[in-house]
Amino acid sequence: MPIDWTHAGATVLAAFLASLVECVEALTVVLAVGATRGWRSALAGSATGLLALLLLMVLLGHVLTRIPLHGFQLVVGALLLLFGMRWLRKAVLRAAGVLALHDEEAIYRREMQALREQGDARPGLDKLAFAVTFKSTVLEGVEVVFIVLAIGAGRADLLWPASLGALAALLLVVALGLAVHRPLARVPENTLKFAVGVLLCAFGTYWAGEGMGYAWPGADWSLPGLAGGFLVVSVLCVPCCRRLAAVGAKEPAR
Amino acid sequence: MNGLRTALTELWGLFVEDGRYALAIVVWLLLAWRVLPLLQLGRGWNAAILAAGLLAILVESVLRRARH
């Protein structure tokens, strides 16, 4: 089946950016564990987590492409909206200063402190290091698997572009991690989350509408239109939230 | 058992952070799916109203959170 690049371009971008955010978070934990308890166990835990995720993705992808499309688009659209609108809400509130920004350096220091308090690593496979990196990789990776399957599964031909986007992000973060050996604190995480939230909301709305049997004005071109709508509204919300938060902060002093 | 509970909590947390917000999204999707066709506005309008409702839910939620 030929790939429709109106969708595939946005699919690759959404999967790449979302995976980038999650991979950066997982890398912070792997680096903290590796630096405090040894690289062998840390990398073994992470690699096992990646294998588990790959298995999960292959299994789910296989099952999902066999489910009837219309009802499935509605369910996937609803889940994408719950997931994407949660991300977008948080990104808006962080951009407005209502919620604190995600700080990879602080998380890195906290993880290292917590791991040091557990005592020295044992020779051979360190179970704690293995468990921590396995858990972190799986938890962050499950979000990637969900995003890839959800944005790709609305049409079977989009699963490959979505998977490629996620794989590119993983390879980029691994390469950067190997090169700098520090948490990637300079990655503008909230800007990425903002962009991903916008794209996921656009995809979720589009799939939900398709699943309900509604015709989108402009057909496939409504997808960039939806993304533009979510982007403009979210950006406009930031200064409004900032003002409201400032007013709220002053009120108790009166 | 603890592991399963943690996994389910994490899974739930992927989709629901603010219960009221998540509920509003689900209720709006149900309304848009079941009630909009009864209004016979035309299928293009239904899609546009679906999107507008979701944008309104987002705006209400962030403004409410910023206010408190």
Identify the pLDDT of residue A125.
81
**Residue A105 pLDDT:** 80
DSSP string, chain A: ----HHHHHHHHHHHHHHHHHHHHHHHHHHHHHHHHH-HHHHHHHHHHHHHHHHHHHHHHHHHHTTS-HHHHHHHHHHHHHHHHHHHHHHHHHHHTTSSPPP-HHHHHHHHHHHHHTT-PPPSSS-HHHHHHHHHHHHHHHHHHHHHHHHHHTTSGGGHHHHHHHHHHHHHHHHHHHHHH-S--TTS-HHHHHHHHHHHHHHHHHHHHHHHHTPPPTTGGGHHHHHHHHHHHHHHHHHHHHHHHHHHHHHGGG-
Residue numbers in chain A where pLDDT is lower than 70? 1-7, 65, 69, 121, 153-156, 252-254
pLDDT given for residue A86 in this prediction: 94
Contact A82 B26 (CB under 8 A): yes
ipTM for the complex?
Answer: 0.91
Task: Output the pLDDT for position A94.
Answer: 94
pLDDT less than 50: residues of chain B: none
* Mutation choice for A interface testing from B34, B41, B58, B60 by most A CBs within 10 A: B58
Query: B57 vs A85: CB contact, 8 Å cut-off?
Result: yes
- Residue A247: list chain B partners with CB under 8 A: 67
Q: What is the pTM of this model?
A: 0.83
> pLDDT tens for residues A28-77?
889 888 888 888 989 999 999 999 998 988 888 777 767 776 778 888 89
User: Does A233 sit within 8 Å of B59, measured CB to CB?
Assistant: yes
Out of A85, A213, A217, name the one closest to residue B44 (CB). Answer: A217
Is B32 in contact with A139 (Cβ distance < 8 A)? no
